[in-house]
Amino acid sequence: MSDVLKLGVLAATVAAASAAGAAAVLALSPQPFELRAARAASALRTTHAAGASAHVPQAIPKSGDGHYWADGEVNGRTVRFLVDTGATAVALTPQDAQRLGVDPAALRYGYRVVTAGGQIRAASVKLASITVAGARVDNVDALVIEKGLDTSLLGMTYLGRLSRFEAGRGGLVLQP
């Protein structure tokens, strides 16, 4: 494909995206993730300044081990999570559940879940709220894993209720 044709296709794509709205342009933009996140944050700050309620995305940096680790506020207490898009649900260690006021010994472990370590038992709980990087979700279904889980997991019962989340070189951005 010639350079002129490539530029024509790019211009047509940008024009079509512009007609669809600024968010579409942002998503199609070949700009680095960091610049897109900064522009999105700026647009949200402008909306917030105009009187609308808005969330300014905060990036969760990628750890040296290649994972995203996030400190979340759960029912008013801090929990350290490994962000896991492959986890169907938020999964809590018994220790984190205890710190949140849930007695793991009193739970009914009626669920069987499959993990990398094999099949284990879990109990269902409802969390009043989880806030990570400023993105709050209320009434989150979670599981307390009976044993074998080293760290709590931020799974899809939280992540799937966000309007979007995007991982890039600059970090993981959560949008309620």
Domains and CATH numbers, the chain: 3-49 (no CATH), 61-169 (2.40.70.10)
Residues 6+ apart with CB under 8 A from 59: 37, 133, 170, 171, 172, 173
The residue that leads in pLDDT, 53 or 15, is 53
Integer angstrom CA distances of residue 71 from 13, 19, 49: 39, 39, 27
Q: Could you report the per-residue pLDDT of 30-73, keeping only the tens digit for each?
A: 334 344 444 444 444 333 333 434 556 788 999 999 999 999 99
Instruction: Give the tens place of pLDDT for each residue, 97-155.
Output: 999 999 999 999 999 999 878 899 999 999 999 999 999 999 999 999 999 999 999 99
Q: Are 127 and 81 in contact (CB under 8 A)?
A: no
pLDDT at residue 96 tops 90: yes
Q: Are 63 and 136 in contact (CB under 8 A)?
A: no
Determine the number of helices (DSSP H) and then strands (DSSP E) in the chain.
5, 10
